[in-house]
């Protein structure tokens, strides 16, 4: 091989190593599979930080231009146990990772579908638990009249002014795009009840967020069968981005 060819080969190898591979990751809670936004993630090699990133509102992040080799990924988030993941980056191969963390503020609940009333004068549910309470069994037929009672949650009284916290909002903001079926929320003092319609977890999460951001005591409505709404989602995300957290 001529000197010129060797020189070109060295340059190409150097350029390839300088660009490296990409590492794509999504951060989720270990037990409930809920995404975790705004987690602090470090990419380390030989105990030295190579790069750092923060997961976005969808729990996703990317490290670019990572050279082949062995790395450690360290993840931190308030209320979660620190997590460490070891990876090997191969030449010409991007990495796709799911990083799991155990978080003490996210709980998994299997709520009985016949529990259709919540009394906020004695309510012990957190906002996150309340969202789980609103979930509908995916096998349920929303068009069956006999099952409509199982698609409605009646609320008695009001929550305390401080019921929803900023920590709750940091979780609720991650599910506002959810189209998962939800019970409608009706208050017991509503004089007129609208016809039942489908609601979503994303829509109900936005109701809780709006209660916090507008300083309203929940529930601040009579009947609500909210669904995911792109304009409303944009407004909430814009508010969250500007919030001094």
pLDDT score at 114: 43
Q: What contacts 102, CB < 8 A, 6 or more positions away?
A: 29, 30, 31, 80, 81, 83
pLDDT tops 50 at residue 10: no
Same domain, 93 and 139: no
Give the number of domains in the chain.
2
- The four Cα atoms 36, 42, 44, 47 give a dihedral, to 10 degrees, of -110
Q: How confident is the model at residue 49 (pLDDT cuts 50, 70, 90)?
A: very high
For residue 145, give the DSSP letter: G
pLDDT score at 118: 82
| Range(s) of the domain holding residue 225 | 117-242
Same domain, 97 and 122: no
Q: How far apart are CA 85 and CA 72, in angstroms?
A: 6
User: CA dist 23 to 53, 87, 127, Å?
Assistant: 11, 10, 34
Please report whether residue 9 resides in a domain. Answer: no
Please report whether residue 160 resides in a domain. Answer: yes
Please report whether residue 111 resides in a domain. Answer: no
Same domain, 123 and 224: yes
Same domain, 136 and 91: no
Please report whether residue 107 resides in a domain. Answer: no
Same domain, 124 and 238: yes
Percent of the chain with pLDDT over 90: 30
Asked whether the CA dihedral 120, 124, 129, 133 is positive or negative, the reply is negative
- Cβ neighbours, 10 Å, residue 105: 16
Please report, for the domain that includes residue 36, its CATH number: 2.60.40.10
pLDDT digits (tens, 9 = 90+) for 150-180: 688 888 888 988 999 988 898 898 899 888 8
Same domain, 234 and 150: yes
Same domain, 122 and 237: yes
pLDDT score at 14: 46
Q: How confident is the model at residue 100 (pLDDT cuts 50, 70, 90)?
A: confident
* Bridge partner list, 100: 28
Same domain, 147 and 235: yes
| Ramachandran category for residue 62: left, alpha or beta (phi over 0 → left; psi -120 to 50 → alpha) | beta
Asked whether the CA dihedral 182, 108, 106, 74 is positive or negative, the reply is negative
Same domain, 92 and 135: no
Please report whether residue 238 resides in a domain. Answer: yes
The answer to whether residues 146 and 113 touch, using CB atoms and an 8 Å cutoff, is: no
Percent of the chain with pLDDT over 70: 77
Same domain, 127 and 225: yes
Please report whether residue 193 resides in a domain. Answer: yes
Q: What contacts 245, CB < 8 A, 6 or more positions away?
A: 166, 170
Q: Which of 74, 101, 128 is at the close of a domain?
A: 101
Q: What contacts 47, CB < 8 A, 6 or more positions away?
A: none
On whether the pTM is more than 0.75, the answer is no
pLDDT score at 2: 52
Same domain, 132 and 198: yes
Q: Which of 46, 71, 101 is at the close of a domain?
A: 101
Nearest alpha carbon to residue 183 among 245, 103, 96, 118: 118
DSSP 3-state percent helix, strand, coil across the chain (nearest 5): 30, 30, 40
pLDDT tops 50 at residue 42: yes
pLDDT digits (tens, 9 = 90+) for 11-29: 444 444 445 789 999 998 8
Same domain, 148 and 233: yes
Please report whether residue 183 resides in a domain. Answer: yes
Please report whether residue 190 resides in a domain. Answer: yes
pLDDT score at 9: 41
């Amino acid at each position: 091989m001529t000197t010129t060819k060797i020189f070109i080969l060295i340059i190409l190898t150097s350029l390839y190593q300088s660009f490296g591979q990409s590492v794509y990751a999504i951060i989720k809670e270990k037990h409930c599979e809920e995404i975790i936004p705004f987690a602090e993630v470090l990419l380390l090699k030989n105990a030295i930080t190579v790069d750092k990133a923060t997961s976005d509102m969808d729990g996703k992040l990317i490290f670019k231009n990572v050279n082949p080799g062995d790395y450690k990924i360290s993840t931190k988030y308030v209320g979660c146990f620190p997590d460490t993941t070891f990876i090997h980056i191969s030449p010409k191969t991007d990495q796709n990772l799911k990083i799991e963390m155990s978080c003490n503020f996210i709980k998994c609940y299997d709520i009985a579908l016949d529990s259709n009333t919540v009394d906020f004068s004695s309510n012990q549910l957190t906002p996150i638990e309340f969202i789980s309470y609103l979930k509908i069994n995916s096998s349920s037929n929303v068009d069956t009249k006999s099952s409509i009672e199982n698609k409605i949650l009646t609320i008695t009284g009001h929550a305390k002014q401080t019921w929803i916290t900023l920590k709750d909002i940091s979780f609720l903001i991650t599910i506002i795009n959810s189209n998962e079926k939800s019970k409608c929320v009706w208050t017991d003092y509503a004089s007129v009840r609208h016809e039942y319609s489908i609601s979503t977890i994303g829509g109900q999460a936005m109701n809780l967020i709006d209660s916090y951001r507008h300083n309203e005591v929940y529930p601040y409505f009579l009947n609500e069968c909210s669904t995911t709404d792109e304009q409303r989602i944009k407004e909430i995300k814009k508010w969250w981005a500007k919030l001094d957290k």
